[in-house]
Structure 1
Amino acid sequence: MSTATEYYDKTAAQYDALRTNEPEHTFALEIGWPLIGDEVHSVLDVGCGTGRGLSWLAQEYPTLELHGIEPSVSMIAIAAKRLASADIRQGIGERLPFQDESIDVVTATGIMHHADNPALVISEMFRVARRAVLISDHNNYAFGGVMTQRIRIGLKVCGLLKAVNYLRQGFNHRGYSKEDGWWYPYSLFDNYTDIAKRSSRLYIFPTRPAVGSSSNILFSQGHFALVAMKTTS
């Protein structure tokens, strides 16, 4: 985790410029937020970065109470300057410093493929959320050609995908790029069952144009988002 945070501390000043051609997370908010409905007063953005997601929400829904969690001090400095009235705290998604059901909606855009334990992050999001969880991220099973896709899903079914990725990435569970820092091969479908169990209603929608010729979302959509309405007791 410290290595990943160091990357964002070093690249914070260039972060937004490097991501001008990544509209999928804004699209996720545009499509997903209306699905949640009215009576939303507060939002927590997990891994809020420089505050881009919170800025969009502040512009579209100016009465929202804004909260953000981010491990990188340099990213927090930019977010705090951009959103002077927001509550931006240093922390990690695996341990959110909020009480149970204390925030109406908890969001995470583009962070799960960087998380050491995305299942724990998602569990924490559901714990803190009062009404809904919104997540936008990768679907690793759609990347590459048809043969690569089929081999990848076959390895997943056989329980061998993590081991093969570990070998391919030079005996490392993570990969690295200058544009995205440290990342894991990840799909939101990996956590689908757990998310569905915690939800009373679950909406899934693509956030980028389809790739290839497959009509199966698993192989045609490299990025998608979901809105999970919490199960009421």
Structure 2
Amino acid sequence: MAAGNRVVQYYDATAEHYDGLHSIEKNPEHSRAMELGWPLLGRVGSVLDVGSGTGRSLRWLQERYPGVALHGVEPSAALLDIARRNLPDADLRQGIGERLPYADNSIDVVIATAIMHHADDPPKIISEMFRVARNGILISDHNNYAFGGALAKRLRMGLRLCGLLGAANYVRNGFKTQGYSEGDGWWYPYSLLDNYAQIATLAESTFIFPTRRPTIGLGNLIFSQGHLAIVATKPVVLGRTSAAMR
């Protein structure tokens, strides 16, 4: 079974419990990311949430920015059904982040909260987000290098620098590419920092900030911040106008 299909099957099976497990209140990192990141994205008339689930991030934005047009893409049909009940006026489509069903530069801001550590190909999703976004993107997700004790952090980074981290994670996860937990389903050991160079290359300006309190010890950003957000703005192209300003 393809890893992506396995993830979708998990969310189809647990859809009715999704909001209880993944609410904004239980996962305040993502609302913190949007709270801090939104002012960096300029005037926003439309937003696309990649992996929109039951619409939790879109509902958060709707409450605070009622004039913004809401769009979402979600592979799980069961989660999408709930999202359509929660957000009857939003444009919600079934699809995957690797192939977003939107034209180039068609949505002001594209966001992704807590999906990259479930994704088979985060760089492809990021490329698609930049393609569709008119103004910029916002991503909120894990930094796996900050998990565990000081020795585990050093070992993980050493394996990463030697090109052996993927193999080590494969063995640690019982000869599987993904780990599994009841609350989060199938996931990859992931760090948003691994995609930083790609994001910064595609962007005009890039902002990175923590969304949790730091862990104690090894006090730099990589080893102390288990959850991060990145906001990246696109280069201004002559003739490209924000929907909010038309």
TM range (shorter): over 0.9
What are the residue-to-residue correspondences of 1:198-209 with 2, within 5 Å?
198-209=202-213
Give 1:84 deviation, angstroms: 0.6
**Letter in structure 2 aligned against 1:24:** E
Gaps of 5+ in 2: 238-246
What's the CA shift for 1:214?
A: 2.8
- For residues 29-82 of structure 1, the C-alpha deviation after alignment (integer angstroms, 9 at most, x for no partner) is 1111011122x1110000000000000111111111110000001100111111
CA distance in 1, matches of 2:77, 2:226: 30
- Aligned partner of 1:22 in structure 2 is 27
1:10 aligns with 2:13: yes
Distance between the aligned counterparts of 1:232 and 1:166, measured in 2?
Answer: 42
Any conservation in 1 of the 2:150–2:217 contact (CA below 8 Å)?
no
- Partner residue in 2 for 1:109: 113
Q: What SS is found at the alignment partner of 1:95?
A: coil
Give the secondary structure class of the aligned counterpart of 1:195.
helix
What is the root-mean-square deviation in Å for CA atoms of aligned residues?
0.8
Residues 1-233 of structure 1 mapped to structure 2, 5 A cutoff: 1-19=4-22, 20-38=25-43, 40-233=44-237
Tell me which stretches of 4 or more aligned residues in structure 1 moved more than 3 Å: none
Q: Which moved more, 1:186-195 or 1:204-213?
A: 204-213
Q: C-alpha displacement at 1:18, in angstroms? A: 1.2
**Cα deviations across residues 111-167 of structure 1 (Å, max 9, x unaligned)?**
000000001000100000010100000000000000000000000000000011111
- Alignment TM-score, normalising by the size of structure 2: 0.93
Equivalent position SS for 2:136: strand
CA distance in 1, matches of 2:117, 2:5: 16
Aligned length: 232
